A and B are shown apart, each in its own frame.
Chain A
Amino acid sequence: MNAFSIALDSIWAHRLRSALTALGIVIGVFAVVTLTSLGSGVRSYVSGQFSSFGATLITVTPALPHASGAKPHFGRGPNNNFVNVPSTLTITDANAITLAHSPDISQVAPVAVLPVTVSPTPRGSSGLAATGTTASYFKAEQLSFAAGRFTQTGAVLGSSALHTLFPGVKNPIGRTIYVGQAPIPVTGVLHAASGLLSKAANNTIFVDVSKGLQISDLHNISEILVAASGNSAVNGAGQVITRVMSLRHPSGDFTVTKDTQILKTINSTLSTITTFLSGLAAISLLVGGIGIMNIMLVTVTERFREIGIRKALGARDSDILVQFLAESVLLSLLGGAIGVLLSALASHMIGQLAGFPAGLTLDAVALAVGFSLLVGIVFGVIPAFRAARLMPAEALRTE
């Protein structure tokens, strides 16, 4: 007969009271665990979206030069408007990165957003965007062709763009579209892209970058998309790009951004929010703990006689202390266990509804168990000490 079986028996003897006491812990643990699980569910969903590319993409975008070393700030355009940074990136820059022949780099694609209209007729507009690039782009973005392929003279349609331009047409290859009034034959159609970041491709028409620049009378491209050859190659690829670009743009008018950095930023934002919400939820755990202390204090008063008998029979102060502490710890652990079960159910259901995986994480369960243990001990100590320090005569006098 150890302290825990005594505690279990006492909890069972006062079932309703124990259940109500544990309820505070149940709610607290439920809230903390559910929020943490949902948080990590969202996080793994976002990472999943990135990792369909393996988070290996690196983008080179134009930036204001920092000639004096001071960082430029935005809002310095004409009329103090918030303006786009004028691009100085060229196709040659992209070629230079390719020519570095780094084993860390697998694909390099110049990307030019073309400020032209796209239409199935010589005059008109579909509202679709046109992008000039090379075949590498599709490999880097992992876009696959439903039909045809990308050529230097033709156009490739995203899956939604096909429906907009040629409603009801299954195979548009050979038809002509007008990009900035220049007639271009359709040579390929893409599969629908589902990734969070590649959905834009669905509404886009792709043409060869040189031809695109020529049509829109531009000299500079919008960005350079680089795919590293693997997750471990991202940093190496970034260094190569920076080295090559710094030689060609000593003024530093470019920025190299890795997808991993974006992922990191999103992750850290999400964990901040999750931690904040869990912290709020933890307040209910605190309230639950005070509930336990309250009930345990009442219990001690009610059980003076039992404490007196046990002490008369030779129970040491420490025996009584352990008995009462065991009871409050067991009570809060039970509450914690029920809270975790409920939370498993809830996050599963929410995950199903919201469409991302939100199972219980080991972290969340460990957190809950740790928290309930802590609450049980912290709030059980005062009542347990009161019980233990009672003089047996005093305890027995109370009828």
Chain B
Amino acid sequence: MIQDINHPIIETHQLRRRYGRGDAAMDGLAGVDLTVRRGEMVALMGPSGSGKSTLMQILGLLDRPTSGSYYLNGTDVSRLTTAEQAELRGRRLGFVFQGIYLLPRLNAIRNVELPMVYARFPANERKHRALESLSRVGLAELANRRPNQLSGGQAQRVAIARAVAPGPDLLLADEPTGALDRASGREVLALFQYLNDDLGLTIVIVTHDPLVGRHARRIVELEDGRIISDTPVNEKDRIVAEHPLEVIR
């Protein structure tokens, strides 16, 4: 895919997602127009059932919309085959979920390598990038540990390392601090800030926590499958770690 800097990374029109059929049918999304530009850090907020996770799954090509259009990097993804979508997920998108979504039987570095295995990276590049990515989140020393030998915060940082290792355009995070204690949560958010500020990675965070939202530069609020507000975060309101990398270490 040709990367065109002029395209927004995300552009949706009247995105709908309907669950079930007939009378029991329910709109997860009821027509969402959203544009996210390169380098943004957006928080999708709303109560549970508002459709924010559904939106994130469609943006991450984990689910297909019932109707409406979605352009990712200028490409109409509804025209892509499942294999092409899988390739986009592996190379261009990174995911961080709420729970521990590491594969329990693989050690940290093998987990980080996994998306690059599916993207058919050469073995030595894979290893190199995985180590680099792990040291970026401050966990190079724990590369050989299994997920059950890591703390929750460490496991989530491995998941972030895994998400960014292939060099994606967009990082999607679904309640990334939801299962963590406050200190670990701060580490993860500082890491996001570093990835966005210093490396220019576009990040979309789904959260119901206003404190988490205030780490972003823009807050999009959903309710009943619709966007009800879309506001930038004032610089003075934004929570910013002075030296994000020191928080991590």
Chain A residues packing against B (C-beta within 8 Å): 1, 9-10, 13, 305-306, 308-319, 391-394, 396, 399
Contacts and interface: CB of A to CB of B under 8 A. Distances in A.
B168 to A, nearest CB: 10
A100 B90 CA distance: 87
Contacts of B63: 391-394
Contacts of B57: 392-393, 396
- In the complex, which range does the number of interface residues on chain B fall in? 20 to 34
B89 A312 contact: yes
Interface string B177-200: 000000000000000000000000
Contact of A311 (B86, B103, B105, B113): B86
Contacts of A399: 99
30 contacts: A1-B110, A9-B105, A305-B101, A306-B103, A309-B103, A311-B62, A311-B86, A312-B60, A312-B89, A312-B95, A313-B89, A313-B95, A313-B118, A313-B162, A314-B86, A314-B91, A314-B166, A316-B82, A316-B87, A317-B83, A317-B86, A318-B83, A319-B86, A391-B64, A392-B62, A392-B63, A394-B63, A396-B57, A396-B62, A399-B99
A316 B83 contact: yes
B114 to A, nearest CB: 5
Interface in B121-136: none
A206 B143 CA distance: 91
Contacts of B95: 312-313
B70 interface: no
A156 B110 CA distance: 86
List of 10 A-B pairs having minimum Cβ-Cβ separation, nearest first: A314-B90, A393-B63, A314-B118, A313-B115, A392-B62, A393-B62, A316-B86, A393-B57, A314-B89, A316-B83
Interface in B94-123: 95, 97, 99, 101-103, 105, 110, 113-115, 117-119
A137 B95 CA distance: 91
Contacts of B119: 314
A392 B60 CA distance: 10
B62 A316 contact: no
Contacts, number: 69
A392 B57 CA distance: 9
Given A312-B60, A314-B87, A319 B118 contact: yes
**What is the predominant secondary structure among interface residues of chain A facing chain B?**
helix
A319 to B, nearest CB: 6
A285 to B, nearest CB: 30
B89 A311 contact: yes
| Candidate in B57, B86, B87 with the most chain A CB atoms within 10 angstroms | B86
A313 B97 contact: no
Contacts of B83: 316-318
Interface string B218-249: 00000000000000000000000000000000
Nearest to B118: A314
A13 B104 CA distance: 11
Contacts of B114: 310, 313
Contacts of B87: 314, 316
Contact of B62 (A10, A13, A319, A391): A391
A314 B117 CA distance: 9
B115 A314 contact: yes
Contacts of B89: 311-314, 392
Nearest to B126: A1
Nearest to A389: B82
A97 to B, nearest CB: 78
Contacts of B115: 313-314
Interface in B37-69: 57, 60-64
| Candidate in B64, B91, B95, B99 with the most chain A CB atoms within 10 angstroms | B95
A399 B179 CA distance: 14
B160 to A, nearest CB: 13
Contacts of A10: 105
B54 to A, nearest CB: 8
A310 B60 contact: no
Nearest to B117: A1
A309 B61 CA distance: 13
Contacts of B62: 308, 311-312, 391-393, 396
B123 to A, nearest CB: 9
A304 to B, nearest CB: 12
Contacts of A309: 101-103
Given A305-B101, A391-B62, A392-B89, 12 more contacts: A1-B110, A1-B117, A9-B105, A311-B89, A313-B90, A313-B95, A317-B86, A392-B57, A393-B57, A396-B57, A396-B62, A396-B97
Interface in B118-161: 118-119
Contacts of A394: 63
Contacts of B113: 1
A99 to B, nearest CB: 83
B20 to A, nearest CB: 13
A392 B117 CA distance: 18
A311 B91 CA distance: 12
Contacts of A315: 86, 90, 118
